[in-house]
Structure 1
């Protein structure tokens, strides 16, 4: 990760925990708020209604995911996958974004969005739109996918749809596997209403005493440690597959849970709770302990959504609203199965013809054949390498880089950031091997990575036990940059080998996420990463570098400088242009700068996967800006920035959002090798090709499918699979 000549400190005699605390105490300061304009006079010249609402734009993104599930040209089981992704996306949206809006609304502070809406106004728009999307989502499953799957012999049935032998088999399964783990919880003067955990599926049950006629409420939690969709067949190799939802099985046997009572009513419901907590970071407190304390409280966050079956009775709904203290506006009625994230299970059905054609990522030519690998160090001494996942194999590039470093006697040190990694991580294993071999290994494990906090705490402790110097992150900032440096003794010199990427060091997501990574032995980048790691692990407050831009102090400033250069070029009548590829475009300063570039005549082409607050194609404001979104088999995740007049290409971890530019440690690196910039140019040309299947954002906020002629459609990701030689 960094070159360890004079800038590398000697191994510390202090404990890893004390090193982590030292890094926290001397954390670099946060940047000032992002919403101040670059040049106030210029911002004042722009219209007040120049931004789309961030939250509503996110809903548009999830609607595009849903459109993939509705697309009959997609393989059936891939459509099921997109329905599940839509559902899990919506869960997180409520846990984080809606929860944040609710908190701001409750404070009563006049906090408005960039488009001028109060939190309460945004919540009203969100509630209406999400109810519409949920109904569309259910229809896509119940009216589209479910019957189409049934035609292929893959059925998801109700209890009443099953014949006698099937019901008998499932009753035996219930007795043996489900009944012992169920705990019905009654509600009466002696039994208070039970705690309902977030995202758990539950049955609300009304039972009547046949003697006195008294009715009572009870709750039965659907266990989450058994499959939600139970496969009825005994032989898994059969092409046909029939599944019964677990809640259907439990509902059919409620009489066994309430012996002697009459079950008069039962309905499924699900609660989503606020998971948008923030650690109260005290510079004198151990950050790990503070986070663990907050994680213990997350499960008790207030409800932000109540999903109920559409046929739930009014009196049952009123009881749930009262006991859970849920606002009626937070109720989402689902006209079908609740929690369609369970459709991920269908990927286990062995029907290759109903899935995308499998592929094997190609080994990058620079690293030899898969079976006969070349030395990564020898390769990088010959020149930089740009890897493009998942088309280029992660295991034979980045993973091989760390594994070879761990086994190489000439390697003195490895430094790496870890934001999210897999449960079985060869990267972490290699770092442990390196530490046990006596190398100096430093890992910055970002334990504040949302929803991966507990996993990262576990990794951090595992690494510590192996002798790795672990830093837990910086107070007030998340370390989101994807950087790694290997320091190697080569004769009388020290050489630094570096990787800067756009995606996590996670071999599993590297097969699903589209990402870029630069592997290099460039001395200036090595010097930059040395300085950056000194910021991350020590006392340095440096914020200017040679060949990288970093947040929170440098990325916005650098991007704005490059945009200003394009404006100057266009104003002088010279060729100019800006091309951006990112996940989200929200930052007002960046958007305003792009508006000014458009007004100066600079062509601006944007590829954004998710949220976009910029309004393209508005006369006099953004005539020269186009925005498109590509969704498909792989999750488009790389961030690329191209400025035509200087022919500068930058890649890195930062999206154009306040959190990335102001509250995270991020890094962008300039790609200088002409061979690699041509590779980036080809990728951007493919994404922006007029015939590439995408959605195009209009000035009114609509996302229109493009192109309209089927005969011209090309698939960007399929073209890259062919180009990289990924084997099917």
Structure 2
């Protein structure tokens, strides 16, 4: 490039007037900035919070939403079930990893100095608190559901009409698919798969009074709950009341029909969680075959947690504990619900009065103005789409239109999570069958989606798509799609860059950004990034994009250093970041140094945050908030004042697929995309990011001691989710909406640099 980089007093390159990278060829500076001094901080004096305990604090905030009386009852139940599935995954991955380290004698401390065994001790103490809290909340919600005519049946509440239907259902639908197994020397203890639930019965044979223990494993094909038909609930005229009973309770209730000639002395329900992480050897010769084998091994991983009913029969419990192997496992006994995650089935009850008002995403007006022609709309001007407020269909249409366009010659796309019913996959298949050159990078290491991704890869290959699996030891987490089109003035590349996955279900509940552009510089960079993944061709001469694990970390460091230099020279200096997690020590130390230099740092971090904010001499200029609400905040946006008071049209703004974690920066292929188009820049910075910072109704402040407290609402409250739902299109809006405008957001004085 011909122009020279603009420099600050410490010669740190900053963004050029056109937003491109500095023109020098030397590697970005990674020299450490002035370090933040060790301040007196409580408790313990640590500079960082523990990652695992921070995650548990996040799930505690999710659980708190189940008590939020602003929410409809079934939405509160949904938050309770989400807290259950979150904790399950935490046990299967994070706790399992720590258990493995302890077993192998690994004492490598975490960022806060705790060893694996110390972390496990603290985690189990907190897990006991959270499990008890879940059951207390379930007890309250259970009562509230009954008052709303949604009943979960127990021994006290099954009327004759429901009893007759349930018994018939058990005999016809349940009995044929369950298999009792005696536990004795002739019948070894069966294997219980991950997330498996089972019942143990202690029986006495009537004929000879011999005691027998029987196990019934509940098949995964069965639902967790059965809903009694309305005309069998016994309510007035057979309507207005819903009644559910768990499959486990149903089996316990009618077990005498399963064990004729026996007296049931006692029973108990249990649930098993196993180590579910997948480890792949770097020298694996066949990645597909290796993953198929690893998925099978995951189902048989080490037991990490065993849940038991409080009144579990003691004789059967002794057998279970001995046989299942719980040496390193957490054993949780409860008199409440086992498998809180299963409550999601009840949360789906058709009661609109007990749910959030229905919401239909808007289709971008900018695209409508071009009669639905996405390529025409993108060619005119860059577009940003804000999901879920604007429809994910526009992303699907981008590939669909390419698939049937005779001028399209090639499509290249990364696929991290695509879901079980993916319109994007089908569009890629259609394009390949139409003779278009289609390349799909399918990430096999997408946790818990490995099996689905293998299925998609097979289907894509059969259709003629060139399927690439990327790197063995790095996940390809960047979200990018390229369409190369033949036009009158030559070939033009249209790109989609996303902060979220090409997943039609999560796109309805995750807040993410979709950025469409025909900027030739971004097109060239995207092509180099794809070649890096498909052919290991390390990109040289990138013009705009930064890529992990190559230079994304260094670019973020460089931007923070610019703010430090600006603050030291008396210029406005501020950093605004929105992401899901911050755990990387290098990034945190850089932000501490920025705070020490007088840079105002505002962080919106939904989940884990290892950074300790608000500590004099360390982080007094840093604030951290977390937003938990109707939608899951998922977009990654990074903004730097760049010498101007925030929010400024001259700020440097980026969207990214990467959180600020070591794994994202060093062990994944990620992208950091500068937003140069003035309209899109303002929409992301002065609407999306600013609205998140101004939210009061769904926000929590992270305190210096690691606790979170709800933001105290002073004056008029503000809900960023409602703001985006109730206003005209903020991103991708067209001339038809300009006259109506969008309510202008403004930052309170005294913050933002």
What is the TM-score normalised by the length of structure 2?
Answer: 0.88
CA shift, 1:257, in A, is: 2.2
Q: 1:721 and 1:159 mapped to 2: Cα distance?
A: 44
Q: Is residue 111 from structure 1 mapped to residue 95 from structure 2 by the alignment?
A: no
Q: Is the 8 A contact 1:693 1:713 kept in 2?
A: no
- Mark the CA change 1:461 to 1:690 in structure 2 (over 3 Å): closer, same or farther: closer
In the TM superposition, residue 315 of structure 1 has moved relative to its aligned partner by 4.2
| Aligned equivalents of 1:706, 1:568: Cα separation in 2 | 32
Once residues 540 and 46 of structure 1 are traced to their aligned partners in structure 2, the CA distance between those partners, rounded to angstroms, is 45
- The yes-or-no answer on 1:705 pairing with 2:710 is yes
Matches within 5 A, 1:448-467: 448-467=445-464
Q: CA deviation digits over 1:63-88, x for unaligned, max 9?
A: 00100011122101101111110110
Q: Who is 1:141 aligned against?
A: 138
Offset from partner CA, 1:170-229 (integer Å, 9 cap, x none): 001100000001101111111111111111121121112334433222211123222221
Partner of 1:200: 196
Report the Cα distance in structure 2 between the residues aligned to 1:388 and 1:323, rounded to whole angstroms: 52
Q: Is contact 2:51-2:608 (8 Å) kept?
A: yes
Whether 2:84 is the aligned partner of 1:87: answer: yes
Instruction: Name the count of aligned residue pairs.
Output: 684
What are the within-5 Å matches in structure 2 for residues 48-59 of structure 1?
A: 49-59=46-56
SS in 2 for 1:368: helix
Q: State the distance in 1 between where 2:510 and 2:113 align.
A: 34
| Residues 131 and 333, structure 1, Cα contact 8 Å, conserved in 2 | no
- Contact conserved, 2:629 with 2:698, CA < 8 A, in 1? no
Given the alignment of the two structures, is residue 380 of structure 1 paired with residue 384 of structure 2, yes or no? Answer: no
Alignment partner, residue 42 of structure 1: 35
Cα separation, partners in 2 of 1:46 and 1:480, compared to 1, 3 Å = farther
Q: CA deviation at 1:693?
A: 3.2
Q: 1:543 to 1:636 in 2, by over 3 A?
A: farther
Verify the 8 A CA contact 1:158 1:245 in the aligned structure 2: no
Q: Is the 8 A contact 1:544 1:554 kept in 2?
A: no
Q: Is the 8 A contact 1:543 1:554 kept in 2?
A: no
Corresponding position of 2:688 = 683
Q: Deviations over 1:99-124 (max 9, x none)?
A: 00001111112211111111111111
Mapped contact 1:692–1:714 kept (Cα < 8 A): yes
C-alpha change, 1:693 and 1:249, in structure 2 (3 Å) is closer
> Given that residues 615 and 699 in structure 1 are in contact (C-alpha distance below 8 angstroms), is that contact kept between their aligned partners in structure 2?
yes
Post-superposition Cα deviations, 1:362-411, rounded to whole Å, max 9, x if no partner, equal 11121117xx843111111111001100011110x211111111111000
Superposed CA deviations along residues 600-625 of structure 1, whole A, max 9, x for unmatched, are 00000000110000000011100000
| Secondary structure at the counterpart of residue 597 of structure 1 | helix
Residue of structure 1 equivalent to 2:397? 400
Q: Which residue of 2 aligns with 1:11?
A: none
Q: 1:575 aligns with which of 568, 572, 575?
A: 572
Is residue 415–residue 485 contact of structure 1 (8 Å, CA) maintained in 2? yes
User: Aligned residue for 1:159?
Assistant: 155
**Bigger shift: residues 246-255 or 172-181:** 246-255
Q: Is the contact between residue 305 and residue 331 of structure 1 (CA under 8 Å) also seen in structure 2? A: yes
Q: Could you tell me how far apart the structure 2 residues matched to 1:482 and 1:552 are?
A: 15
Instruction: Assess if the C-alpha contact under 8 Å between 1:693 and 1:707 holds in 2.
Output: no
Preserved CA contact (<8 Å) 2:99 2:328? no
CA contact (8 A) 2:48 2:111 kept: yes
Aligned residues of 2:39 and 2:617 also touching (Cα < 8 A): no
- Return closer, same or farther for 1:407/1:445 CA change in 2, 3 Å cut-off: same
Shift of 1:46: 7.3
Gaps of at least 5 residues in structure 2 are 1-29, 233-237, 644-650, 731-753
Q: Name the TM-score, length of structure 1 as normaliser.
A: 0.91
* Secondary structure at the counterpart of residue 483 of structure 2: strand
With over 3 angstroms needed to count, the CA separation of the structure-2 counterparts of 1:328 and 1:160, relative to structure 1, is farther
Deviation of residue 234 (structure 1)?
A: 4.4
1:232 corresponds to 2:228: yes
Deviation by residue 1:31-88 (Cα, 9 ceiling, x = unmatched): xxxxxx9639837867871000000000000000100011122101101111110110
* Matched position secondary structure for 1:579: strand
1:307 aligns with 2:307: yes
| Comparing 498-507 and 684-693, the one that deviates more | 684-693
CA distance in 1, matches of 2:169, 2:289: 43
Q: Write the distance in 1 (CA, Å) between the matches of 2:695 and 2:462.
A: 54
Tell me the equivalent position of 2:319: 319
- Deviation of residue 332 (structure 1)? 1.2
Structure 1 partner of 2:414:
417
1:241 aligns with 242
Contact 2:477 2:668 in 1 (8 A): yes
Distance 1:690 1:286 in 2: 49
Task: Name the CA shift for 1:209/1:533 in 2 (closer, same or farther; >3 Å).
Answer: same
Question: In the alignment, what sits opposite 2:272?
Answer: 271
Is the alpha carbon distance of 1:216 and 1:43 closer, same or farther for their aligned partners in structure 2, counting shifts above 3 Å?
Answer: farther
Query: What's the CA shift for 1:328?
Result: 7.3
Q: From the superposition, tell whether residues 713 and 314 of structure 1 become closer, same or farther in structure 2 (CA, over 3 Å).
A: farther
User: Could you say which residue in structure 2 is the equivalent of 1:182?
Assistant: 178
Query: Which of residues 667, 673, 680 is equivalent to 1:663?
Result: 667
Give the distance between the partners of 2:282 and 2:415, measured in 1 at CA.
Answer: 20
Distance 1:349 1:329, change over 3 A: closer
Q: Secondary structure at the match of 2:694?
A: coil
Q: Alpha carbons of 1:362 and 1:452: their partners in 2 closer, same or farther (altered >3 Å)?
A: same
Residues 420-442 of structure 1, C-alpha deviation per residue, up to 9 Å, x if partnerless?
11222111111111111111000
Question: What does residue 251 of structure 1 align with?
Answer: 252
Q: Give distance in 1, aligned partners of 2:716 and 2:199.
A: 50
Deviation at 1:277, TM superposition (A): 2.1
Q: Is the 8 A contact 1:38 1:589 kept in 2?
A: no
| Closer/same/farther in 2, CA of residues 124 and 45 from structure 1, 3 Å limit | closer
Quote the Cα distance in structure 1 between the aligned partners of 2:623 and 2:257: 61
1:213 is matched with: 209
Report if the CA contact (8 A) 1:707-1:713 is conserved: no
Q: Does the CA-based 8 Å contact 1:585-1:657 persist in structure 2?
A: yes
Write the distance in 1 (CA, Å) between the matches of 2:167 and 2:314. Answer: 31
1:716 CA drift (Å)? 1.1
Distance 1:474 1:579 in 2: 32
Q: Deviation per CA, 1:542-583: give whole Å up to 9, x if none.
A: 266211111112111110010000000001111010000000
Instruction: Indicate the SS of the match to 1:545.
Output: coil
* Contact 2:581-2:606 within 8 A present in 1 as well: yes
The 3 A distance-change label for structure 1 pair 328 and 466 is closer
